[in-house]
Homo-oligomer: A and B are copies of this chain.
Amino acid sequence: MSFLESLNWRYATKRMNGKKVPQNKVDIILEAARLAPTSSGLQPFTILSITDPALQEMIKPIANNQPQITEASHLLVFAAWDSVTPEKIDEVFDQVIQERNLPADGLDNYRNFLKSKFGSMSTEEQFQSAARQTYVAFGIAIAAAATEEIDATPMEGFRNSELDELLGLKEKGLRSVTLLPLGYRDEENDWLLKQKKVRRTKSDLVIEL
């Protein structure tokens, strides 16, 4: 399938059949998310890949009992940094300097610019900025799943703070942002599968100047 055919093939799967997605396919989806570009290369998020059925059962009520939470073989949780601190910025820049064999102070101007930029934001604004980057990786992970013919359901509908509590995210400096159950569509029972994909028309969505 071409990339556009894959995007047309995918849909927000409402029911999955419980079949297990091979780990090598999940790894491709995670690798796509890892390769996603992010502002200043910070990659300010963590992805939790959950395959423990008992944990999925505990998450289900927090996500309004959506059945895909337990019908998926892998439940991805995208969680953004709750703050963008100088320490976290240093970690990223130290890695770049090491991997590119740059002088230790080679990126100091940009590093300090970023520290000052985030330092002037509230913690909540830092998180919101990190959350936006998370959506880039989330979008690319959704597309990667489609190219591998793995079904996925992008989800915002869950109680974030309860999930953070359950997964101990606060202690990790993270806040949950989105969910992505991975599995296979239940062709008999998924009402949405038979429905036409609806999108705004190109002329409504795009302005050419």
Measured CB to CB, the residues of A under 8 A from B are 3-4, 7-8, 10, 12, 28, 30-37, 39, 41, 43, 45-52, 55, 92, 95-96, 99-100, 128, 131-133, 135-140, 142-144, 147, 154, 156, 167, 195-200, 202, 205-209
Contacts and interface: CB of A to CB of B under 8 A. Distances in A.
Given A95-B198, A209-B51, A137 B139 contact: yes
26 contacts: A3-B3, A3-B147, A4-B31, A7-B32, A7-B35, A30-B202, A34-B206, A41-B198, A46-B205, A46-B207, A47-B205, A48-B208, A51-B208, A95-B198, A95-B200, A99-B196, A99-B198, A132-B132, A132-B135, A133-B135, A136-B136, A136-B138, A136-B139, A136-B154, A139-B140, A140-B142
A90 to B, nearest CB: 14
A155 to B, nearest CB: 9
Nearest to A49: B208
A154 B39 CA distance: 8
A47 B207 contact: yes
Given A4-B28, A139-B140, A209 B48 contact: yes
A207 B49 contact: yes
Chain A interface mostly: helix
A154 B205 CA distance: 19
- Report how many copies the assembly holds: 2
Given A132-B132, A138-B136, A34 B100 contact: no
A33 to B, nearest CB: 8
Nearest to A153: B37
Contacts of A154: 37, 39, 136
Q: From A95, A96, A147, A206, name the one whose CB has the most chain B CB atoms within 10 angstroms.
A: A206
Q: Which 3 A-B pairs have the closest CB atoms?
A: A139-B139, A135-B135, A136-B139
